[in-house]
Structure 1
């Protein structure tokens, strides 16, 4: 009996993930963003191990030490010290856990809650769905940062309350996107045919809808991650998020703002890290969007 071998393109067509990766890997900017994103993710996991000094240890003999590339700098302190003698390099490494790590936690929490509420709004009819959709439309008119500030003002300042505030602020856009994605799937012929075969709502959702909207969920999560990172840093800068002496990037900028002419590195490097974190997420998100679009076209 003759054996037939699939061509590479036919093999990739059987695996949507492989085909998505093939289109994604062709974009140099997306690969660069993925590398930077992976670096920040590793810092979130390993920052406690990589810190050469205690990020909260104060040293009166090393106040405002310049970076190591300066003539007065020390190799042991690559980025110098702050006005309390704390190692900036160690504080920046630990800050990745607060600014970028907590942003990832908030996005995951908002995604899970948004999936539950979005499914409820998209697969139910009547008064319950109508009330939920109207409340959702009202919440979407408020910018996420302003909504987070309102929630923090109610709950009180602090990193834990900031996490809940940003999670709740991101929730409306997840619910809205998931609701629209589910409503679009419910109008497809294969869903109607599956219902005619006797499938219930759970079977339709778990076997048909969810596998077909995972790309949109991934895109929404990547876009929300950049928003969450900026919101956490902004709340820390305004004094509503992380409180001293927590080494969060936004709070570090606020604490060192008066020293910008004396020690500009203490302000510039946290700002640069926030910029790179947001840029990497946006590059990955744009790459995924373009790859998903090209995969559907093929």
Structure 2
């Protein structure tokens, strides 16, 4: 005998299940998710899956062409650079720097933005007004320009680049979280919860944060693509990762003079940057569409 259900199962699913159902119906979003997971796994396992030492210089293999060329070797799929280092191993290792550090940067900016955005969203009066005006002023400066200014103060290097981009992305996260919290505080159930005697902490932790996690996810996805581009751009300009680190933007900068002799040393890192940003944007757009369809249903 079948079990009696008061509600239809289709309408009684959890929000996460409904969100995943709408997300997986989008083929482009699923392709982006597969690429995103692939980059994430490679960034974690990069030290263990590189076929060669990415920093080992072999004088007999300078500017070796890719393996699909007649003069290439199968042991070096993408060839070598002007110092005889394996490009394939350097690109794998560079995933940890460009993609992995972008994830860490956005995670740090999100945590700080959540704290400051909560303070800005829950505060009222003069303190809130001053905070909002400072945020509006910071948002007028592009994130890359702000990161360059911070790196110029801290000095070049990958770690300083990470902190610079984290601080450059912070105003965007604080602004978005503040607006999301302010919109949530206008809801009727929040007012009813306050009338029951709930304080600001109860409202924030039990009502506001659980109801804005979807917006936080979309902001994080957009922030990751910006962080990838900023890390690569700073590495290309010489402010970010320094030699011999195999960050993708720095690899393009180092190989720019060899573009006619070894075009793959410039094209392949650029293609990886494009693919990484595309995967994040596809996932972000897929999440936004899935959230809208879930709310409509």
TM-score, length of structure 2 as denominator length: 0.98
Residue 201 of structure 1 corresponds to 200
Distance 2:32 2:184 in 1: 31
Residue 290 of structure 1 corresponds to 289
Give CA deviations for 1:213-248 in whole Å, capped at 9, x if unaligned: 000000000000000000000000000000000000
The change in CA–CA distance for 1:225 and 1:2 in structure 2 (over 3 A counts) is: closer
Distance 1:152 1:133 in 2: 25
Residue 8 of structure 2 corresponds to 7
Give CA deviations for 1:116-147 in whole Å, capped at 9, x if unaligned: 00000000112222211111000000110011
| Superposition pairs of residues 251-290 of structure 1, within 5 angstroms | 251-290=250-289
**Per-residue deviation at 1:3?**
4.3
Residue 47 of structure 1 corresponds to 46
Distance 1:276 1:2 in 2: 49
Mean Cα deviation higher: 76-85 or 123-132: 123-132
Distance 1:23 1:236 in 2: 38
Give CA deviations for 1:168-222 in whole Å, capped at 9, x if unaligned: 0000010000000000111111001100100011100010000100000000000
Aligned length: 296
The change in CA–CA distance for 1:55 and 1:3 in structure 2 (over 3 A counts) is: closer
Superposed CA RMSD in Å reads 1.1
Residue 143 of structure 1 corresponds to 142
Partner SS for 2:281: helix
The change in CA–CA distance for 1:245 and 1:10 in structure 2 (over 3 A counts) is: same
| Superposition pairs of residues 70-149 of structure 1, within 5 angstroms | 70-149=69-148
**Per-residue deviation at 1:2?**
9.1
Distance 2:285 2:228 in 1: 17
Distance 2:49 2:220 in 1: 28
Residue 186 of structure 1 corresponds to 185
